[in-house]
Structure 1
């Protein structure tokens, strides 16, 4: 496997940002690493890449301990952090050569790698421009190029499409798809369409703990949400035998269920027997955004 995280914990003062999480990522996977702000996503990615130490637990990348041998482990990792730290006054070509040298690349091999990354990341026209003059989309391309310059087998991308316009977003997605053909990719994002378009598996973290670890199809398939508005509020316990119930405001409820054909008829009968007035009823197949919301509701503090 490419990444193995075991009982990983990180504590800041009295706050436990990551609480004994464990997961593995296999070669060739694109893993969507999701969570609300403050869930512990960025903290986990910084530990995996060796930028900060854990309070407890372990991380292995390609069988190498990030804690015991961080230099060797980092050789296998390409990392694009959420806030892309580029040298604004350097030219694109110059910057990529500089990063390549930091990774120990030299001579004609370094020159060839820089040219290869410029072509792969669509930077040919921009290669002789200063990074500070580039658009956000092209700066993200430069960030991807620097993460790939040393040909890592594992690529960690923290919010790689934040702030991009729709055209730039599609371009970066396509680039990630191309890159992932021979690499393991861990992708953190808040954009659910991006996860569905790119990821083979999803981990959802909430309040420092993993609350889901499965494929998108398994998380969403065969599950439905019935949205019901009553004239007056109803006790949730009165509806719980129909499925998992959530009040989403006033007298409006969501009932998560497995797609029972007779559910609406049963609910009408229940309403009739209890003199409840149903104002509206709408059923839709559960999507990843609804799954995410159900698992992470009420988490809205700043990301760690």
Structure 2
């Protein structure tokens, strides 16, 4: 379990992390989201002991990351956004070096290297120079080094950045597998990726935690609207008259088509899109007007993210300062 309590990090007058508190339990894949400059990487670097906090506390299974760094760091495997690879070594040579740095030796070191090579599927390139490997394989080597020592927690900062679509799918599958035996925390700018592989999501904005829940619950509980689109032969006046009797509708837009029909896009505060579609259909039937096509779109994690971080104005100076310090 990871406990973050009242974590604050300042760079001069700029507060990158602002009184951040949360708890992470075992056996889940957690997504860590936030706009550029929101404090994600700063928080992850503090959690892994790579950066000190201005104030607050991080405990990894009861061990304070600053007061008991050796015990705490044994619990963590970390892959930074830029994997710390030695390009003139092979994966086997590099993993041997990392394993020894983590205190592994002899038979245990050899067995763990073989295990992480198999787990990350890098057998066919294990004796090639890392400089000759593709970006996808380099990421796999980076994940392999994070797995050495069998840590309880795996922290991945932008693990799929710069990868092609096939490599992204492969790394996502690997992360899902890791989540079966480890607690995984990953930072990503790809919302669909977080939604696809994460059990729970933390959203940070201006250094503060603004949401922490399962993706499905975030979509249900927030005030983002569900959308319904339809095409009808009715006039704008007739459409307005029909829609004014459906209380759940919050917004309506019209688009006149070349064939004389009107495309209508509405927003609704109701969680039951099927019920609204049913009401629309019956209301148009009552007026003897035809709906030729209708579809609904449920609010997703992207809508939630935009609503929670809307209005975040991180200036370039602050963003650059955070990157430079990290």
Give the alignment's TM-score, normalised by structure 1: 0.82
CA positional deviation for 1:294: 1.2
Tell me the distance in 1 between the aligned counterparts of 2:65 and 2:250: 41
Give distance in 2, aligned partners of 1:299 and 1:244.
25
Match of residue 308 from structure 2: 295
Q: Is the 8 A contact 2:249 2:266 kept in 1?
A: no
RMSD: 2.8
> Matched residue of 1:97: which SS?
helix
Answer with 181-190 or 257-266: which moved more.
257-266
Contact 1:59 1:65 in 2 (8 A): yes
Deviation at 1:194, TM superposition (A): 1.4
- Cα deviation digits, residues 143-199 of structure 1 (max 9, x gap): 000000111001111100111111101111111111111111111111122112211
Using the alignment, how far apart are the partners of 2:138 and 2:249 within structure 1? 47
Unaligned runs of 5+ in 1: 232-240, 246-252, 267-280
Q: State the Cα deviation string for residues 194-221 of structure 1 (Å, max 9, x = none).
A: 1122111111001111111111110113
Pairwise CA distance, 1:288 = 0.5
- Cα pair 2:220 2:271 within 8 Å, conserved: no
Checking the alignment, whether the CA contact within 8 Å between 2:5 and 2:57 is kept in structure 1 is yes
Indicate the residue corresponding to 1:276 in structure 2. Answer: none
* Structure 2 unaligned regions, length at least 5: 230-235, 237-246, 252-264, 281-293
TM-superposition CA deviations, 1:238-264 (whole Å, max 9, x none): xxx97888xxxxxxx995623475699
1:45-92 superposed Cα distances (whole Å, 9 cap, x missing partner): 000000011111100001101121112100110000111121111111
Could you tell me how far 1:297 is from its partner in structure 2? 2.2
- 1:285 counterpart (288, 295, 298): 298
**Cα 1:100–1:243 shift into 2, 3 Å:** farther
In structure 2, do the counterparts of structure 1 residues 148 and 289 end up closer, same or farther at CA, with 3 Å as the change threshold?
same
SS of residue in 1 equivalent to 2:192: helix
Q: Give the whole-Å Cα distance in 2 for the aligned partners of 1:262 and 1:215.
A: 25
Work out the CA distance in 2 between the residues paired with 1:242 and 1:54.
47
Cα pair 2:76 2:154 within 8 Å, conserved: yes
For residue 179 of structure 2, give the secondary structure of its aligned residue in structure 1. helix
In the other structure, the counterpart of 2:225 is: 224
- Whether the aligned pair in 1 keeps the contact of 2:158 and 2:187 (CA below 8 Å) is yes
Q: Figure out how many residues of one structure are paired with residues of the other and give that number.
A: 275
From 257, 278, 282, the counterpart of 2:269: 257
> Which structure has the larger Rg?
2
Residue 225 of structure 1 and its aligned partner are, at CA, apart by 3.1
Structure 2 partner of 1:275: none
Alpha carbons of structure 1 residues 117 and 262: separation in structure 2 relative to 1, 3 Å: closer
